[in-house]
Structure 1
Amino acid sequence: MQPGLRTVCGVLVDALSTVLREPVALTVAGRTDAGVHATGQVAHADLSPTLDTAWLVRRLARLLPPDVRVRAVSPVPPAFDARFSALRRHYRYRVATAVHGADPLRARDTLSWPFPLDVDAVNAASAGLLGEHDFAAFCKRRDGATTVRALQELRWTVDDDGVATAGVSADAFCHSMVRSLVGALLDVGRGRRPVGWPAALLTRTERASEVPVAPAHGLSLVGVDYPADADLAARAERTRRVRVPGEAGP
């Protein structure tokens, strides 16, 4: 939530508090930049164990604005933490490579790319970024937070309509990391940078000013993975210790 600004979290908190007639605090799996979409966001709140979850979904469907939906509500163990218990997040970035640009019905979540895109070169460059690295060159640094991340998937595919989609998965992402990775790889795909350039930036300890940040609207958070119930507490504790040293909370 951000004072004075409309956010998805703020809209959900207001709706839940109205429906349940009590203040509700929400913890989400991860922040997204303004303009980034989420079709698989996860959040948790402490609610009554007797709550009718199907009823809550129906009530929220009537109350929420058209651009925010709650697909399901489920009980979880007390140890569950939507942010810190997460094993990995999955993002997709859509790029329309056709001369005519993005389909009008998908223009809100697809970047129209007016340049050639060598997907083979992009995938070769992407392979060099996989694994655990310090992604400082691709992140907007936050005080007290590490920029070391384990990038588990970064691969591009192209469908029959000429839409190239980057599938990106990691244990976590730092601020603007995915959009910066995509921006760097698009520069490789159009021939402005060599294949080895993105991986070479991993030696940097500060953000690389020459890395372009891809527009927000092409990016969507599509899923979050969690461990088995018995491992939730241990995962949350490990994540807090490693990812946010000195931070008081989510």
Structure 2
Amino acid sequence: MTRVRLDVAYDGTDFSGWAAQPGRRTVAGVLAEALGVLVGPEQVVGLTVAGRTDAGVHATGQVCHVDLPPTALELGLVRRLAALLPPDVRVRAATEVPPEFDARFSATFRRYEYRVTDAPYGADPLRRHDTLAWPRPLDLDALGRAAAGLLGEHDFAAYCKRKEHATTIRAISRLDWRREADGVLVATVQADAFCQAMVRSLMGGLLSVGDGRRPVDWPAGLLSRRERANEVMVVPAHGLTLVEVGYPETSAEYAERADLTRRLRA
């Protein structure tokens, strides 16, 4: 078998998230089905994704790997998949990678963007599926100062849905806001990895500062908690897009990075 990296984009509106679920339409399910048509279902092995996005979350830079027969790349995968996949999911590139490459564990970072508008008329109709309409005016400076307090490695238990035997310690390397020319506010957040619902919880905490309901230091103050902070709102999924996944520059580092990632943080 040959390991293939797939770069994937999708509109998450009509998907029940990435992970395959019986009786539900998921990105993994649709992609595996299309690959199965090309090479046979039994020849699609180990489909693994960099970030398992929730229902309604979009992606422009998702990455997954799958083991396929050596002849698969000769089929012209990108073009053939374009004909088989529904219009709300596209494979933008298909590349042979070493067997040490692991889309999930070899990743060095995941970068998301969250779009929100505070325009009094709400979201532009053409962007309603990827932009949250916020009912109150937002202060860009307050959002930026609050975001700065969340940078670095911390226990983000207050912003995560805790899972048994899983750590909530994460390292955020970038968290900032900008206002686009059309007035839409865009948050960019990057970390080595994220807990379930962490990004949407961070956005909920920051937006409550941006509209003046909470002080600037409130989001960072929650980092002392060791349980989920119920007062933090989990914002709707549709404003969130996975835009990039980073990997080591050389293939020799794939296995080393994967081994490092598997170790739980102390």
TM-score of the superposed pair, with normalisation by structure 1: 0.95
Q: Does 1:199 align with 2:225?
A: no
Q: Could you say which residue in structure 2 is the equivalent of 1:248?
A: none
- Spell out the pairing of 1:154-233 with structure 2 (5 A cutoff): 154-227=175-248, 228-233=250-255
Distance 2:82 2:197 in 1: 31
Maintained 8 Å contact 1:111/1:218: yes
- Spell out the pairing of 1:132-147 with structure 2 (5 A cutoff): 132-147=153-168
The partner residue of 1:16 within 11, 31, 35 is 35
Q: Could you say which residue in structure 1 is the equivalent of 2:131?
A: 110
Distance 2:217 2:73 in 1: 54
Distance 2:222 2:28 in 1: 34
Cα RMSD (Å) = 1.3
Aligned residue pairs, count: 244
Q: Could you say which residue in structure 2 is the equivalent of 1:237?
A: 259
Maintained 8 Å contact 1:187/1:193: yes
AA in 2 matched with 1:240: R
Q: Could you say which residue in structure 2 is the equivalent of 1:148?
A: 169
Maintained 8 Å contact 1:136/1:207: yes
AA in 1 matched with 2:226: T
Q: Does 1:67 align with 2:88?
A: yes
AA in 1 matched with 2:255: A
- Specify which structure has the bigger relative contact order, considering alpha-carbon pairs within 8 angstroms and separated by 6 or more residues: 1
Partner of 2:143, secondary structure, is helix
Question: Percent of aligned positions with the same letter in both sequences?
Answer: 65
CA-to-aligned-CA distance 1:76-101 (integer Å, 9 cap, x gap): 11100000000000000000121121
Q: Could you say which residue in structure 2 is the equivalent of 1:36?
A: 57
Dislocated runs of 4+, deviation >4 Å = none
Post-superposition shift, 1:50? 3.6
The partner residue of 1:82 within 103, 107, 118 is 103
Q: Does 1:120 align with 2:141?
A: yes
Partner of 2:94, secondary structure, is coil
Maintained 8 Å contact 2:39/2:69: no
Distance 2:115 2:80 in 1: 32
Post-superposition shift, 1:33? 1.2
Maintained 8 Å contact 2:110/2:244: yes
AA in 1 matched with 2:196: H
Distance 2:94 2:191 in 1: 25
Structure 2 residue runs of 5 or longer lacking an equivalent are 1-19
Distance 2:181 2:66 in 1: 41
Comparing 124-133 and 91-100, the one that deviates more: 91-100
Distance 1:29 1:242, change over 3 A: same
Maintained 8 Å contact 2:159/2:198: yes
Maintained 8 Å contact 1:53/1:74: no
The partner residue of 1:47 within 68, 73, 87 is 68
* Higher strand fraction (1 or 2): 2
Post-superposition shift, 1:54? 6.5
TM-score of the superposed pair, with normalisation by structure 2: 0.89
Post-superposition shift, 1:242? 2.1
Post-superposition shift, 1:53? 5.5
Maintained 8 Å contact 2:33/2:41: no
Q: Could you say which residue in structure 2 is the equivalent of 1:6?
A: 25
Partner of 2:175, secondary structure, is strand
